[in-house]
Amino acid sequence: MKAVIIKRAIYEEGSCLTLQFEYNRELIDLVKKVEGMRWDSIGRCWYVQDGKDMLAKLFRLFKGVAFLDYSNLKQKESLLHEEVKDERIIPDDITGVLAAEEEEAIASLRRWMYHCRYSQSTVANYSAALITFLKFIKPKKAKDVKEGDVIFFVDDYILRNRMSYAYQNQLLSALKLFYGEIYKTTLDIGKLKRPRREHRLPNVLGKEEVESILKAPLNLKHRMMLVLIYGCGLRRGELLNLEISHVDRVRKLLIIRQAKGMKDRVVPLSDRMLERIREYQEAYKPAVWLFEGQGKGSKYSEASLQEVFKQALRKAGINKPATLHWLRHSYATHLLEAGTDLRYIQELLGHKSSKTTEIYTHVSIRSIQNIRSPFDELDL
């Protein structure tokens, strides 16, 4: 029987139950039925706000389908009834409470980050990481933190809960800003070692798979959104932030404003793509945003776009754990396989460094397929 591991963790919503399991479509469909359930792309788990009967709801939901391993919760509950010498060794739901001056310090950092034009997602992620850290180190106060407290948190919280490299790196970046800009402290975050960088290959779909996904939606708007993501190599947010004026029909360009890293860039639009966009605009007549939500002039939501892609996957019969970003990866890889120079692909994707773009050379089949294994030379 399939296993689901349940733990507790702190998110912006407060104490939450996290669910981790190997990819399984049946389990994912069940999880989505829980009201308030969300996916944490950094921690690679599902989470839902903890409540009086949430654990019981999960047991009823997975009954006969999966085994729920909640031993971590039971172990942590037992700590509450034992004398613990180090007060900082606390359960995963982190019971510490921030002092008023600490809350104000985090609010000051948010204001400073907004002033420096950090993205909303970065501000939110840094704030959440800091809140978790400061609650974990209680009863120690934020102003008294030393390097050893950070190491303790990494070892006893991040590593113990098998959280990702990205979360650990994000925490160190948040601490560096927090103590450098707000407390002006001598805490030397720079001495703390960054985790060794993970080298993961991008996930790429075959051209036939992409074609089946793009053909799947019957709704013209849904199909057009997926077509633009693949056809122009867009990120999810870049698509949703497109305005009507960003389609330059004269120069045949799509203008992407203030994307990741606050960078503008342009992507070429073919006559075929421009015709598709024209047909879509005539049918839906958007007022401001190229893709509007239910209300006139409102932006299409990220959650709705995700659902469009999931439905397209199901209809196309693709069982891979694909995300919208796979379409962007596929765009870059297919360009490379068609002979497009890597420097142009870097510009089209908006990568700051060519090293980021070079990852696609590792998944391109253009050269790999010409390599013959020595096995093929054997007379067997």
CB-based contacts of 275: which residues, under 8 Å, 6+ apart?
Answer: none
Angle between helices 207-215 and 324-337 (to 10 degrees): 140
Q: Is 360 a catalytic residue?
A: yes
Query: What is the Cα–Cα distance from 9 to 132, expressed in whole angstroms?
Result: 9
Catalytic residue among 222, 223, 334, 351: 351
Q: Burial of 339 by CB count in 10 Å (0-12 exposed, 13-18 middle, 19+ buried)?
A: exposed
Residues 36 and 111 in one domain: no
- End-to-end CA distance of the chain: give it in Å, rounded: 41
Does the N-terminal peptide bond of residue 195 adopt cis geometry, omega within 30 degrees of 0? no
**Chain position carrying tokens 């296993």:** 3
Domain end among 48, 79, 110? 79
Name residue, tokens 């070892």: 155
User: Structurally, how many domains does the chain consist of?
Assistant: 3
C-alpha span between 328 and 349 (Å, rounded): 8
Structure tokens at 110: 């948010």
Distance between CA atoms of 182 and 109, rounded to whole angstroms? 7
Which residues of the chain, if any, have pLDDT below 50? Answer: 75-93
Q: What DSSP letter does each residue of 317-379 carry, written as one string?
A: T--S---HHHHHHHHHHHHHHTT--HHHHHHHHT-SSHHHHGGGGGT-HHHHTTPPPGGGGS-
Query: Catalytic site residue 329?
Result: no
Shared domain for 64 and 26, answered yes or no, is yes
Q: Answer yes or no: do 142 and 258 share one domain.
A: no
HEC per residue, 159-211 = HCCCCCHHHHHHHHHHHHHHHHHHHCCCCCHHHCCCCCCCCCCCCCCCHHHHH
Q: Tell whether 296 is covered by a domain.
A: yes
Of the three residues 159, 191, 223, the one that is the final residue of a domain is 191
Q: 235, 252, 310, 315: which is the annotated catalytic residue?
A: 235
Q: What's the pLDDT score for residue 14?
A: 64
The verdict on whether 194 is a catalytic residue reads no
pLDDT number for residue 283? 93
Query: What count of residues does the chain have?
Result: 380
User: Sign of the CA dihedral 261, 264, 266, 272?
Assistant: positive
Is residue 355, in this structure, part of any structural domain at all?
yes
Token digits of residue 155: 């070892």
Catalytic-role residue among 126, 230, 300, 360: 360
CATH number of the domain encompassing residue 313: 1.10.443.10
Read off the tokens for 163.
Answer: 């959280």
The encoded tokens of residue 80 equal 């509450």
Which pLDDT does position 38 carry in this prediction?
87
- Amino acid 244: pLDDT: 93
pLDDT attached to residue 196: 59
pLDDT of residue 377: 66
Q: 357 and 308 share a domain?
A: yes
Please give the pLDDT value at position 341.
85
With tokens 């790429």, the residue in question is 204
Same domain for 160 and 267, yes or no, is no
The answer for residues whose C-beta is within 8 angstroms of residue 171's C-beta and 6 or more apart is 129, 133, 153, 154, 158
> What range does the domain containing 37 cover?
2-79
CB of 366 closer than 8 Å to CB of 342: no
CATH number at residue 62: 3.30.780
Model pLDDT, residue 146: 85
Two tokens, residue 217? 């939606």
Residues 270 and 314 in one domain: yes
Q: Is the distance from CB of 58 to CB of 6 less than 8 angstroms? A: yes
Which one from 328, 329, 331, 334 is the annotated catalytic residue?
328
Is 351 marked active-site?
yes
149 and 297 assigned to the same domain: no
Place of tokens 């039971």: 74
Residue 66 lies in a domain: yes
Buried b (16+ CB within 10 A) or exposed e, 119-135: beeebebbbbbbbbbbb
In 3D space, the residue among 15, 40, 5 whose CA is nearest the CA of residue 94 turns out to be: 15
129 and 15, same structural domain? no
Q: Are residues 59 and 120 in the same domain?
A: no
- The one catalytic residue in 260, 299, 310, 315 is 260
pLDDT for residue 2: 76
Is the pTM value of this prediction over 0.85? no
Does residue 2 have an active-site annotation? Answer: no
* Domain boundary, last residue among 191, 223, 250: 191
H-assigned helices in 65-119: 71-79, 100-115
| 91 part of a folded domain | no
